[in-house]
Amino acid sequence: MLETETASATTPSLPRELQSPRAKLVYLYLTTNGDATVSEMGESLGMKKLSLYSILKTLRSEGLVDCDGDCYVPN
C-alpha cells in the first residue's frame, strides 16, 4: 500500500483539457523528463515524428508545453 501512495504522489496530474491518449502520453513524458527533442520522444515513445509534431502543436496552443530551440519543455 505504501508503494501505491508513493507512486501517486510523484505522478504528475493531467490537465483536464487533454482528451487524446497520445497527447496525455507526450505530456507525461515531458513532465517526467523535463525536456526532449522530437527525435528523442519518437524513439522513447515509439511514435512517428509527424504525429508528434501535431500533438506538440496542440499542446503548445493550449499553453501546456513550449519550444526552446529544438527541445520541447513543459510549462
Note the pLDDT of residue 14. Answer: 82
Note the pLDDT of residue 17. Answer: 85
Rounded to whole angstroms, the Cα distance separating 55 from 60 reads 9
Type of residue numbered 49: K
Rounded to whole angstroms, the Cα distance separating 31 from 13 reads 9
Please tell me the pTM assigned to this model. 0.80
Order of all β-strands in the sheet with 65-68 = 36-37, 71-74, 65-68
Rounded to whole angstroms, the Cα distance separating 9 from 40 reads 26
State whether residue 15 is helix, strand or coil. Answer: coil
Digitized pLDDT (tens) for each residue of the chain, 75 residues in all:
455 555 555 666 788 888 899 999 999 999 999 999 999 999 999 999 999 999 999 999 999 999 999 999 999
